[in-house]
Amino acid sequence: MHIGILVLPHHRSSDVAAPMDALSVFRGDSASDPYSFELVGTTAGAIRGTSGVALIPDSTTTGSPPSFDTLLVAGTDDSAEPQTHPGLIEWIATAARSARRIGAMGSSVHLLAHAGLLDGRIVAVHPAAGPGFSQLWPSVNANTMHALVRDGNILTAVGGQAGLDLALELVADDFGVPAAKQLAEQLQTCRHRCGPWRLPACLRVGMRWCIREIQAYVQTNLTADLSVGALAARAGMSDRNFARVFLRETGVTPSQFVRNERVAMAIQLLSQPAYSMVQVAQLCGFAETAALRRSVTARLGVTPRTLKARSIRERR
């Protein structure tokens, strides 16, 4: 699959290097590389990023765009002013018509909006930039709650891990969630942010709204009754139908999702000295510390006590 990465002056170097490095590591079931890359610039010369590192593009936006499977646009300092790059918006619009997917990192979401690709869409926007973005683009729905959003074939990501988040989402789309989780484990990208090898939370707009609501409810109510029956009643569905739809939409059963969220929160709390084992178990919805111990040990291979002691040592 051929991936084009649009690189502009003052680009964020991590938006270019992170997806290329992550996808270059991935092999899937094939001995050959499933992904190839082409850097596209507005000029043929060196393009310097915010880090000071200059990149030499493989092609430019002065001609007709190649046929990309996926087009990614790196974030820049001046993405809100694309008029400084003659022909850029037209090039993006043309490239998007033939690309299977389009991804924007950080402020480059402005470029997709200028190209007319985001009307009526939901996109990821940094919380600090949300009000200004909504004023500029009232026909686009700015989501400041998720760092990664997929609406149809448009993927948007914000934050320092935007490039990695997009790369994992592409692998999940092309080869399945298990393959993406395996890549996350190989890269060790998510250990400190959200527990062991947990994929970034992605708002997939195509997912049934009630399932997204249930996921949000679980994440903010870990101590509540989160049995399949209780969640199904909240969704207004029968137990059997709810379990079937939840699995189809998310790739995991409701019970697995609840357990994963509780364990992820427990791992975060165990890294903070202020919380005792009993408090962590209570705050995460475990009936007793023994259940906490079993769940964390099954996920990490170490006990909560060992994890907590390790975190205390690292803080000294």
Among 221, 202, 311, CA closest to 265: 221
Tokens 């959003």 belong to: 149
User: What is the predicted pLDDT for the residue at 195?
Assistant: 40
What is the per-residue pLDDT across 26-37, written as a single tens digit (0 to 9) for each? 876 566 788 999
In this prediction, residue 205 has a pLDDT band, given cuts at 50, 70 and 90, of low
Among 211, 190, 311, 305, CA closest to 253: 211
The token pair that represents 246 in the structure block: 């939840």
Whether the predicted pLDDT of 191 surpasses 50: no
Lowest-pLDDT range of 61-75, 94-108, 238-252, 277-291: 238-252
More confident: 84 or 90: 90
Whether the predicted pLDDT of 194 surpasses 50: no
Strand-pair partners of 60: 41
In this prediction, residue 227 has a pLDDT band, given cuts at 50, 70 and 90, of very high
In this prediction, residue 305 has a pLDDT band, given cuts at 50, 70 and 90, of confident
As a CATH number, domain 2-190 is: 3.40.50.880
Whether the predicted pLDDT of 83 surpasses 80: no
Lowest-pLDDT range of 27-36, 269-278, 297-306: 27-36
| Orientation of helix 209-220 relative to helix 239-250, angle to 10° | 90
Tokens 């189809």 belong to: 248
Whether the predicted pLDDT of 80 surpasses 60: no
Strand-pair partners of 287: none
Q: What angle do CA 201, 107, 70 make, to 5 degrees?
A: 65
User: What is the predicted pLDDT for the residue at 206?
Assistant: 56
Overall pTM surpassing 0.75 (yes/no): no
Taking a C-beta distance cutoff of 8 angstroms, is the pair 100, 34 a contact? no
Strand-pair partners of 156: 104, 149
User: What is the predicted pLDDT for the residue at 204?
Assistant: 63
pLDDT mean over 287-309:
88
pLDDT mean over 247-276:
87
pLDDT averaged over every residue in the chain: 84
What is the per-residue pLDDT across 42-70, written as a single tens digit (0 to 9) for each? 888 899 888 888 899 999 998 888 899 99
The highest-level CATH class for domain 209-314 is mainly alpha
Domain locations in the chain as residue ranges: 2-190, 209-314
pLDDT mean over 106-134:
90
Please list, in sequence order, all residues whose beta carbon lies within 8 angstroms of the beta carbon of residue 28, skipping any fewer than 6 positions away.
34, 171, 175, 179
pLDDT mean over 283-296:
92
pLDDT mean over 18-28:
86
